[in-house]
Structure formats: structure tokens, C-alpha cells
């Protein structure tokens, strides 16, 4: 299947994945269409079929990062994100973590609910994740102090805990990531904004660094403007990019052509 490595492929993602060997992909980082929030030239997809194919092609210990939100229809959210998460779990994936991608701006303020600025990032794993490179860039307030405290026991009581190691200057991130979005913030590639829903480069990059090692194979079955492929290539990973739209794939090719 080496012919698919570092390729931008046009076609139905399920049909393309069916041509890929079992246990081939280390990491998937993707963001599917959110209900019918964008037209995407009228293309549709089947969550159950895709989840099954992703499970098959993912290596044991591999991870799928599924970034998704819901559309509000007649005053209520669709709940599609939760349905998709349950579909992946029914397929055999573990829900390793439920993370939040928090934007630094909003598009259109609501008048009947609090302003919506986040999307879900479901971290699915095929068994226990084999690669975990947690990013530690959170400034610790208590740097230099020793970890101390008490722990709640099964019976509800509190037990003392001995002083631990000194608190480091930087700790592991929380699972809510704030990401700058918008024109020339999600990417500096002007051409990327010809796509209706550009994926922030820093978001793709940080997941690639977290859940894969150099040389690993990173898949995006909704490749769009090529952000996942670009960040995989920049960070020494291999990529497989699929999208049903040749128009969007041409954007992706142009974004990758100058990367060594």
C-alpha cells in the first residue's frame, strides 16, 4: 500500500480506505462535516461505514482524533457529535479522552443561549494508545514546591499523602485547548481560505505530536485544504489525505508543494 503514502487522493473515503491494508495507519486526525452546516458541494458520508473502515486500517494502539461540533436546528442542537462517538465505541474503539477545542472568537452570537466557542475532540484508541507524547507547556503556579495533599478513598474518607517530587516549571496541558482561529490565524496560507471550513494548523500539529512518532502514518479521510497532511509532513510523519472534492485537493497540493 505504499502507493498511498504521501498521496492526495480524490474519491469517497470509505472506498479508498477499503483499498488500504489492515492495521496500517498510526494516527487519524480529522474533522468531518458538521451536519449540513456547510454544503461541501453536496457531498455526503456514512458515519458507521467510515468508523468500521477506520477501525480496520488503524494499527493496534493507534489513535483517531475526531474533531466535531453540532448544528443548531430550530433552537436545539442535533447531538450528532455524541451519536458519532457512540458509533465509534460500538465499532470497537475505546474513548480514550474527551477533549475540548476552544476558539478565541465567535461567528454569530446567540440570543437564547451562552455564546458557543468550543467543539469536541474525541480521542479514540484501538486498545491502549501505543504513543503518548503529552505536551508540557502549561506554566505551573507552584513551581519549586513539593506535591502534597490528601486523596479520597473508595469509602469516601480522605487519606494523607506524603510529599512528592518538586513541581516542575511547566506541567502537562489540560484537556481543553484554546486555539486562535480566523483569517490568517488558522493558517498563513492565503489559498487555504478557499476552503469553507479551514482546520487550524496548530491544532492538527499538536495532535500529531501527541499521538504519533516521526515516520508514522497519519491519515485524514476528510482532508479538505490539506492541513493535517501539511503538518504531518512538516513534522516528519508520512500522510494519507483523501477528499471527495478534487477542487479542495488542488488547494491541498498547492499548500504542500513547497514543503521539503
pLDDT at 112: 86
pLDDT digits (tens, 9 = 90+) for 9-18: 999 999 999 9
pLDDT at 161: 63
The residue that leads in pLDDT, 211 or 34, is: 211
pLDDT digits (tens, 9 = 90+) for 79-136: 999 999 999 999 999 999 999 999 998 877 778 888 889 999 999 999 999 999 999 9
The residue that leads in pLDDT, 83 or 199, is: 83
Listed residue (76, 85, 21) closest to 47, CA to CA: 85
Phi, psi of 146 (to 5 degrees): -95, 145
**pLDDT level of residue 226 (50, 70, 90 thresholds):** very high
Contact by Cβ (8 Å): 222, 46: no
Torsion angle in degrees (nearest 10) through CA of 72, 75, 76, 77: 20
**pLDDT level of residue 233 (50, 70, 90 thresholds):** very high
**pLDDT level of residue 217 (50, 70, 90 thresholds):** very high
Contact by Cβ (8 Å): 209, 228: no
Q: What percent of the chain has pLDDT over 90?
A: 70
CA atoms within 13 A of residue 23's CA, in its CB half-sphere:
4
Domain extent listing, the chain: 2-135+173-256, 139-172
**pLDDT level of residue 188 (50, 70, 90 thresholds):** very high
Q: 214 Cβ partners below 8 Å, 6+ apart?
A: 235, 236, 237
Listed residue (163, 127, 161) closest to 144, CA to CA: 163
Which CATH superfamily groups domain 2-135+173-256? Vaccinia Virus protein VP39 (3.40.50.150)
pLDDT at 228: 98
What's the first-to-final CA gap in the chain, in angstroms?
A: 23
pLDDT at 81: 95
pLDDT at 41: 62
Q: Which sign, positive or negative, has the C-alpha torsion 160, 162, 166, 171?
A: negative
The CB density around residue 201, as the number of other CB atoms within 10 Å, is 21
**108 is written with which cell numbers?**
454569530
pLDDT at 163: 63
Mean of the per-residue pLDDT values for the chain? 91
Phi, psi of 184 (to 5 degrees): 65, 10
Is the pLDDT score of 24 beyond 70? yes
Listed residue (189, 172, 200, 242) closest to 67, CA to CA: 200
Contact by Cβ (8 Å): 130, 62: yes
Poorest-confidence range of 106-120, 175-189, 243-257? 106-120
Largest CA distance in the chain: 61
Is the pLDDT score of 164 beyond 90? no
Q: What percent of the chain has pLDDT over 70?
A: 95
Q: 114 Cβ partners below 8 Å, 6+ apart?
A: none
Contact by Cβ (8 Å): 101, 203: yes
Mean pLDDT throughout 243-260?
94
Contact by Cβ (8 Å): 192, 227: yes
Amino acid at each position: 500500500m505504499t502507493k498511498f503514502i504521501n498521496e492526495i487522493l480524490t474519491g469517497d473515503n470509505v472506498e479508498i480506505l477499503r483499498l488500504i491494508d489492515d492495521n496500517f495507519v498510526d494516527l487519524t486526525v480529522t474533522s468531518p462535516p458538521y451536519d449540513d452546516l456547510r454544503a461541501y458541494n453536496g457531498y455526503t458520508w456514512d458515519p458507521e461505514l467510515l468508523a468500521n473502515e477506520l477501525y480496520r486500517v488503524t494499527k493496534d494502539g493507534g489513535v483517531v482524533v475526531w474533531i466535531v461540533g453540532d448544528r443548531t436546528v430550530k433552537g436545539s442542537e442535533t447531538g450528532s457529535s455524541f451519536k458519532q462517538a457512540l458509533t465509534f465505541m460500538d465499532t470497537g474503539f475505546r474513548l480514550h479522552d474527551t477533549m475540548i477545542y476552544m476558539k478565541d472568537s465567535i461567528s454569530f452570537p446567540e440570543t437564547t443561549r451562552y455564546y458557543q466557542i468550543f467543539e469536541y475532540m474525541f480521542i479514540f484508541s484501538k486498545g491502549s494508545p501505543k504513543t503518548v507524547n503529552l505536551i508540557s507547556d502549561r506554566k505551573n503556579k507552584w513551581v519549586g514546591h513539593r506535591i502534597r495533599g490528601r486523596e479520597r478513598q473508595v469509602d469516601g474518607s480522605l487519606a494523607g499523602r506524603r510529599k512528592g517530587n518538586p513541581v516542575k516549571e511547566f506541567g502537562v496541558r489540560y484537556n481543553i485547548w484554546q486555539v486562535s482561529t480566523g483569517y490568517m490565524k488558522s493558517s498563513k496560507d492565503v489559498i487555504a481560505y478557499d476552503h469553507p471550513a479551514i482546520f487550524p494548523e496548530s491544532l492538527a500539529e499538536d495532535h500529531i505530536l501527541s499521538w504519533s512518532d516521526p515516520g508514522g502514518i497519519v491519515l485524514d479521510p476528510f482532508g479538505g485544504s490539506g492541513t493535517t497532511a501539511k503538518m504531518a509532513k512538516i513534522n516528519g510523519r508520512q500522510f494519507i489525505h483523501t477528499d471527495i472534492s478534487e477542487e479542495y485537493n488542488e488547494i491541498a497540493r498547492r499548500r504542500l508543494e513547497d514543503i521539503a
